[in-house]
Amino acid sequence: MRNIIIILAVLFLASCAGKKADETPEQEIRAYQKQISDINQKIAVIEQNNVETEINTEDLLLVKTVSIKKTTFSHTITVSGAIEAIKFAAINPEMPGRITKIAVSEGQVVQKGTVLAQLDDRLLQSQLKQTKIGLEMAQTMFDRQNELWEKKIGTEIQFLQAKNQKDALENQIQTLKVQISMTKLIAPFSGIVDRIYQKEGELANPAIKLFDFVNLNQLYVNAEVSEDYISNIKRGDKATIMFPAFPNLEIKTSVYRTSNIINPSSRSFLTRFKISNINNKIKPNLIANVLLSDYTSKNSIAISSIVIQSDLEGKYIFIADKKDNFYQVRKQYLKTGLNEGGKTEILSGLVIGDLVITEGYNLVRKGQNIKIVQ
């Protein structure tokens, strides 16, 4: 329509304005160009002020919009973690000795208190037997000395010596029994014998590990999180644990605890999650990916990140403002926050009910008349 008006105006001016006798062709062209420029300026004013009262909505650009409303916006981070068994024991003998029996096999499930291995205890058993014989004699001597003492016969020294001898042998027997019990390696909890490091007949030593023993029912996931998030992550925050080795396995959990110490080399802090093991599929030291929520706002405005554009003044979107029987494009600058899942939180620049152009946003311009379709 604009081009038609310009052509008609030029023809009108050409028919009404006669060429001056002293004008050169260049002067005449410049005169016409000035007239066209004046007409363009007048047309622009008419369009800006919407002087045209009749708009053919059939010719308007069709766009789609989304009405702004409050929503819950959450931001997550992904960190790597490693699995740790809550109950794990590297079992060493408490005293040196020859291994006389390995009572379990690798992979065997055993109950708490089960004997895993036996060390040679013959010398201790012999000492215990001799000490018990000595205790019998000492007990007899004490009983007789006690009877005499009650009858005021004998000296107090004789009575105390007999009692001391008996007590010393009783204590010695208790010590030998403890030492004998230490020749048995006992399961500290119910679990699995994961690995056996020595064989029957070898010499066991407290400095040498004999068993790896583990319970897989409850596990820790330990993740190192950048110190940048230390003010956002706390006990109870929701998290999702995923495993590259098991693509279809996801475990919902929460933060069990956070470390109070920053690792000076990695500038991170330990974040620990406690999970239950499903069918004992998850193994210690397995790699895990932790999707951790570090920010949540329940009354937020968030829009599709793709519709946000940028220029020298900042980030902006296009909004459709209602006119009579059509809509007009408004360019709106924004202050944005975090991004998550293709959505961006809007901190300022939008209000509830604004119609954000989501389809056709790259075809419109400021002040353009448009039509909204569903």
pLDDT, position 78: 93
The CATH number assigned to the domain with range 57-75+299-372 reads: 2.40.420.20
Which structure tokens are listed for 350?
Answer: 């939008």
Over 60: is that where the pLDDT of 294 sits? yes
Over 60: is that where the pLDDT of 11 sits? no
Which of 5-14, 126-135, 342-351 shows the lowest per-residue confidence on average (mean pLDDT)?
A: 5-14
Q: 186-218 pLDDT, tens per residue? A: 999 999 999 999 999 999 999 999 999 999 999
User: Cα(315)–Cα(205) distance, rounded to whole angstroms?
Assistant: 70
Residue position matching structure tokens 């105390």: 160
Query: Can you tell me the mean pLDDT for 254-281?
Result: 93
Q: How confident is the model at residue 52 (pLDDT cuts 50, 70, 90)?
A: very low
- Taking the domains of the chain in order of start, what are their residue ranges? 2-48, 57-75+299-372, 77-84+219-293, 93-120+184-209, 125-182
Enter the DSSP assignment of 5.
H
Which of 40-44, 101-105, 271-275, 370-374 shows the lowest per-residue confidence on average (mean pLDDT)?
A: 40-44
Architecture of domain 93-120+184-209: Beta Barrel (2.40)
Query: Are 294 and 233 spatial neighbours (Cβ–Cβ below 8 Å)?
Result: yes
Share of the chain above pLDDT 90, in %: 61
Which structure tokens are listed for 316?
Answer: 């902006």
β-sheet bridge partners, residue 356: 66, 319
The CATH number assigned to the domain with range 77-84+219-293 reads: 2.40.30.170
pLDDT, position 347: 95
Q: Which H/E stretch holds residue 287?
A: strand 287-304
Over 60: is that where the pLDDT of 246 sits? yes
Q: 325-366 pLDDT, tens per residue? A: 889 999 999 999 999 989 999 999 999 999 999 999 999 999
Query: Can you tell me the mean pLDDT for 39-68?
Result: 71
pLDDT, position 20: 55
Residues 6+ positions from 159 with CB-CB distance below 8 Å: 145, 146, 148, 149
pLDDT, position 67: 94
Distance of CA 298 to the CA centre of its chain: 20
Q: 134-166 pLDDT, tens per residue? A: 888 888 887 877 777 777 777 778 878 888 888
pLDDT, position 145: 76
Over 60: is that where the pLDDT of 17 sits? no
Share of the chain above pLDDT 70, in %: 90
Over 70: is that where the pLDDT of 65 sits? yes
**Average pLDDT score, the chain:** 87
239: left (phi over 0), alpha (psi -120 to 50) or beta: beta
Enter the DSSP assignment of 234.
-
**Does the predicted TM-score (pTM) go above 0.85?**
no
pLDDT, position 48: 60
**Helix, strand or coil, per DSSP, at residue 69:** coil
